[in-house]
Amino acid sequence: MSTALPVVPLPREGGCADVPILKERGQREVFCGLTGIVWLHRRLQDAFFLVVGSRTCAHLIQSAAGVMIFAEPRFGTAILTDRDLAGMADANEELDRVCTTLLARRPEIRTLFLVGSCPSEVIKLDLGKAAERLNARLLPQVRVLNYSGSGIETTFTQGEDNALKCMVPVLPATDARELMVVGCVADVVEDQFVRLFDALGVGPVRFFPARRASDLPAVGPNTRLLLAQPFNGETVRALQARGAQVLSAPYPFGAEGTTQWLAAAAAEWNVNAETFRQVTAPLQARAERGLARYRDRLAGKRLFFMPDSQLEIPLARFLHRELGMTLTEVGTPYLDRTMVAAELPLLPATTVLSEGQDVEKQLDRVHAAQPDLVVCGLGLANPLERDGHTTKWSIELVFTPIHGYDQAADLAEIFARPLERRERLAV
Ligand code: SF4
């Protein structure tokens, strides 16, 4: 007989679940959803992302990706020229021609994502129809999917949400009892979690997205979803519409977050409490030792999150609870309460939570609060540094492996590094 894992209530500080939110609608300073291609193309090794956009779009992903060291990167841009934009050329014909040439040159591609942009939206190029047309010719060797990464419709991490959501209709159906981890994680993180779920006896476990876009996890009424990224709300709702149920948990950031995240799956799979302790306690202890090195440096430091990646709320919880940082303001571009239901009660009730952005007003609040560290997008970092603030680019948080026990100290280091740099400059 096994004893089901008791659900251990987390110590709360009053919580932020019911506090009023400052809602702002004004000028925003956030990347568009094309940015997601930079981490998605690394994860999905048999996919290609073809942005149907302008030279601006091509420059954005190229500079966001930095210097590409791959001989053949798995993304590109089909540039819409002035003739296309003026409606003088048949952009559909041109797109089909580009796709055919690309697939002939890159026969290893199994999934081709056509990614919409502001220009393709403006000229009303129907990428859904284009995908249908190409699939009729190319399936089953290559599947063509489409989503929008346009700055009119998406910010930064919503690109991943849109990419995953467009895959949901093609996931096979199942009645099997399986765990699905939803959200892009680094391969090394997947390997660590697979070992942990194996040791706990939780499974079968599938990751969505998997390393190959063509390796599609099945979904159905007995699928349980464990969320790895807080910004995939639309994808989660599409999976729920196919019967899957979410296991509510904080995100696996830090030692505490990771333990609670694993506990949610363990409780669902009736894992024995002793087994859970034996598997997780040594790893949790090691992660806590790693964090202790940073706690001295970060405790009491005042932190301001500009709204950018939607990772702000889980990271604020981690930085406050495990490293003792003080939260000045936690901004998020969208507050999707269902996605952060287990996080909000863990923030101090005094936290100023803001949703959306009116950038000038928010910068005024930064200047008034004089926080020790501002987490923000690339566009705001330089002006803030010029004004004497210490900043951390939030984009690093989606490029770096930050989930799980083994990455907890690395995650703390991301926030400690700019403070140390500032201190060294001040000497
Ligand atoms: S999709 Fe729009 S916002 Fe994004 S780079 Fe292209 S033009 Fe700019």
pLDDT digits (tens, 9 = 90+) for 304-353: 999 999 999 999 999 999 999 999 999 999 999 999 999 999 999 989 99
Token pair listed for 266: 């363990």
Angle separating helix axes 187-200 and 254-268, nearest 10 degrees: 50
pLDDT of residue 65 exceeding 80:
no
pLDDT of residue 190 exceeding 90:
yes
pLDDT of residue 85 exceeding 70:
no
> Quick one: 210 exposed, middle or buried, by C-beta within 10 A (0-12, 13-18, 19+)?
middle
DSSP structural state of residue 11: P
Classify residue 259 as left (phi > 0), alpha (psi -120 to 50) or beta: alpha
pLDDT digits (tens, 9 = 90+) for 98-133: 999 999 999 999 999 999 999 999 888 999 999 999
The pLDDT assigned to 341 comes to 95
CATH class of 33-154: alpha beta
pLDDT of residue 71 exceeding 80:
no
Q: Which residues contact 424 (CB under 8 A, 6 or more apart)?
A: none
CA atoms within 13 A on the CB side of 393: 13
DSSP structural state of residue 338: T
Closest residue CA from atom 3 of ligand 1 = 151
Of 11 and 190, more confident: 190
CATH number, span 22-28+287-426: 3.40.50.1980
pLDDT of residue 204 exceeding 50:
yes
Using CB distances shorter than 6 Å, the residues near ligand 1 are 32, 34, 53-54, 56-57, 60, 117-118, 149-151
Q: How many whole angstroms separate alpha carbon 220 and alpha carbon 241?
A: 9
> Quick one: 85 exposed, middle or buried, by C-beta within 10 A (0-12, 13-18, 19+)?
middle
CATH H superfamily, domain 178-275: Nitrogenase molybdenum iron protein domain (3.40.50.1980)
As a whole number, mean pLDDT of residues 4-10 equals: 47
The pLDDT assigned to 78 comes to 86
DSSP structural state of residue 231: T
The mean pLDDT value of the chain amounts to: 91
Closest residue CA from atom 7 of ligand 1 = 118
The pLDDT assigned to 15 comes to 80
Instruction: Indicate which atom in ligand 1 lies nearest the CA of residue 60.
Output: 5
Asked if 375 and 329 count as a contact pair (C-beta separation under 8 A), the reply is no
Strand locations in 234-280, DSSP E?
245-246
Q: How confident is the model at residue 424 (pLDDT cuts 50, 70, 90)?
A: confident
H or E element that contains 96? helix 91-105
pLDDT of residue 11 exceeding 70:
no
Q: Which residues contact 20 (CB under 8 A, 6 or more apart)?
A: none
Of 75 and 384, more confident: 384
The pLDDT assigned to 89 comes to 65
pLDDT digits (tens, 9 = 90+) for 258-317: 999 999 999 999 999 999 999 999 999 999 999 999 999 999 999 999 999 999 999 999
Token pair listed for 367: 């200047």
Pairing of strands 47-53, 75-79: parallel
CA 224–ligand 1 middle distance (angstroms):
35
359-377 burial, b at 16+ Cβ within 10 Å, e below that, comes to beebbebbeeeebbbbbbb
Nearest to 148 by CA among 131, 133, 134: 131
Q: How confident is the model at residue 6 (pLDDT cuts 50, 70, 90)?
A: very low
Q: How many whole angstroms separate alpha carbon 20 and alpha carbon 171?
A: 39
What's the Cα-to-Cα distance from 251 to each of 183, 243, 329, 415, rounded to whole Å? Answer: 11, 22, 20, 18
User: Which residues of the chain are in CATH 3.40.50.1980 domains?
Assistant: 22-28+287-426, 33-154, 178-275
Token pair listed for 11: 């110590």
Asked if 32 and 377 count as a contact pair (C-beta separation under 8 A), the reply is no
Residue 63's identity, in one-letter code, is S
Pairing of strands 47-53, 22-25: unpaired
One DSSP character per residue, 151-186 reads TTT--TTHHHHHHHHHHGGGSPB--S-EEEEES---
Instruction: Indicate which atom in ligand 1 lies nearest the CA of residue 59.
Output: 5
CA 55–ligand 1 middle distance (angstroms):
9
What's the Cα-to-Cα distance from 410 to each of 253, 387, 402, rounded to whole Å? Answer: 11, 28, 7
CA 353–ligand 1 middle distance (angstroms):
28
Q: State whether residue 18 is helix, strand or coil.
A: coil
Mutate to test the pocket of ligand 1, among 56, 77, 162 (most ligand atoms within 8 A of CB): 56
